[in-house]
Amino acid sequence: MPNAAVTPSSTVDPTSEEASGSSSGVEYDPMDPVLDESPYEVWRAMRDQQPVYFNPRRNFWALSRYEDVAAALKDTTRFSSAHGNVLELMSPEPVDSGMMILNDPPSHTRLRRLVSRAFTLRRTAALEEDVRAICRELLDALDPGPGGGEVDLMQEYAAQIPSRVISRLLGVPGEDRERIRLLIDECFHLDEEHGFVNDVALTAMGELGTYLDRRLKHLAEEPGDDLLSALTGAGLTRRETIDFAMLLVMAGTETVGRLLGWAALLLDEHPDQRADLVADPSLIPQAVEEVLRFEGPSPVQARFTTEDVTLHDVTIPARSIVLLLTSSAGRDERQYGPDAGVFDIHREQRHHVSFGYGVHFCLGASLARLESRIALEELLARFPSWTVDRDRSVRAHTSTVRGWSRLLVRL
C-alpha cells in the first residue's frame, strides 16, 4: 500500500481509543464495499462522536462535518494536495505532476490561470447543442418503443454521455471519436483484485496519452479552434497540456455518469418530485444540486498534512493522510437542519461541497451542470416515469467515486 509508507509522527497516539473511535465502535473505511452501500449512519456517528476520526488499520484520518471539511479544503497550506488526492495513491513525498489537482499554490495557481484562459465558460456553453444531440441519439437507440421494456440506464445512457462530451471538448476528430470513447471507458476499468489501478486502465491511459501527444504535434503545425490548440496558445507546455487533458478525462467522465445514475434512482424513489420536474423543467438545475448534495459522486478528497493540526482537541500529526468526507458534509444536520437526510429538490439551503471548495473547486462544474441538466431534460421529456430494479442493479466500488455501474430500469 503506498499510504503505508507515510508514517505519522505522533503527538497523540493514533491507535488510542480516543483517537481511533474504537470506544464508540465507529469503523469507517471507504474501500469497504459493504459499508459503501450505505455509509450514512457511520458518517453520522463520525460527525457526532468522532469529528476527527483515525483509522489505524489503513492509517488515515477523516473529517466529516461540513464546517471542518470546508475549512480544510480551503486550507491548502496545512492540507496539501501535492502528495495525491486518492487514498490508494498517496505518496510520502510530493508527486511531480502537471495535473493541477495534485499541485498546491503557487504552481497550482499558475496552471489554473493558464488553463482557465482556454477552458472558458463560453467554450462550455458552446457544447450545449452537441450535448443535446448526443443525449437524443442515445435515447433513440435505447427507446424500447410503445410497449416499454428494460434498459441499463447507466451503460446505455448515463455513462455514455460524458466520454462523448469530453472527446468533443478536446476536439477529437469524428473518425477517432469511437476509438477514443472506448479508450476512455477502459481508463475506468475496475478489477476485482486491484480496483482501479490495473493493467487495462493503465494501458488505456498510456494509449490515450500517446494519442494526445500525436494530436498535439499535428496541431502545432495546424492549430484549430479546439481546446487543445487553445491550451498550447495559452502558454502550457506539451506535457502540461497532456496532463490537463488526462485530468479532464479522469475528473469529468465517471463523476458525471454516476451523478446521472443517482438522479435516475432518486427521482424514481421520489415520483412526486420527478413529476414536478416534468411539469416544470426549469427546476432541473436545482434538482441537480440536490442530487450532488445528497449523493455526491466524489465523496472523499484526500489530503496530506504539512504540520500538526489540532481540531476538536485532537491533534492530527504532520505528514498524515486526511480524508475530507464531502458527502458526509452534504448530510450534516449542523448545516442543513434536521431533515438533512431527506432528498428534497425544493429545499432552501442547497450549497454543498460536492464540487470541492476553495482553489481546487471543480474546474468542470459548469460543464457537469450543463451535461446533467440537458441529460435530465431529454430523459424526462422522453420518459416522464420509469421504475428502477434496485435489487438487480449493480454498484461500482472505488474509494473515490460512489455510484452505480448498472442501473436496470423499466421504461
User: Smaller CB distance to ligand HEM: residue 112 or 397?
Assistant: 112
Contacts with 361 (C-beta within 8 Å, 6 or more apart), sequence order: 355
Q: Interface with ligand HEM by CB under 6 A: which residues?
A: 73, 81, 85, 100-101, 112, 166, 247-248, 251-252, 255-256, 259, 296-298, 301, 326, 354-356, 360, 362-364, 367-368
The residues with which 62 forms a beta bridge, in sequence order, are: 53, 323
Our CB check for ligand HEM shows the closer of 45 and 227 to be 227
Min dist CB 297 to ligand HEM, Å, is 5
Closest-CB residue for ligand HEM? 364
CA 366 to CA 364: how far, in whole Å? 6
- Whole-number minimum distance, CB 311 to ligand HEM, in Å? 18
Q: How far is the CB of 401 from ligand HEM (least distance, A)?
A: 9
* Choice between 99 and 340, CB closer to ligand HEM: 99
Single-letter residue type at 278:
V
Of 232 and 255, nearer to ligand HEM (C-beta) is 255
Q: Based on CB atoms, which residue is closest to ligand HEM, 64 or 301?
A: 301
Closer to ligand HEM by Cβ: residue 129 or 391: 129
Closest CA to 184 of 211, 224, 157, 151: 211
Nearest approach in angstroms of CB 259 to ligand HEM is 4
How far apart are CB 46 and ligand HEM at their closest, in Å?
19
Shortest distance in whole angstroms from residue 323 CB to ligand HEM: 11
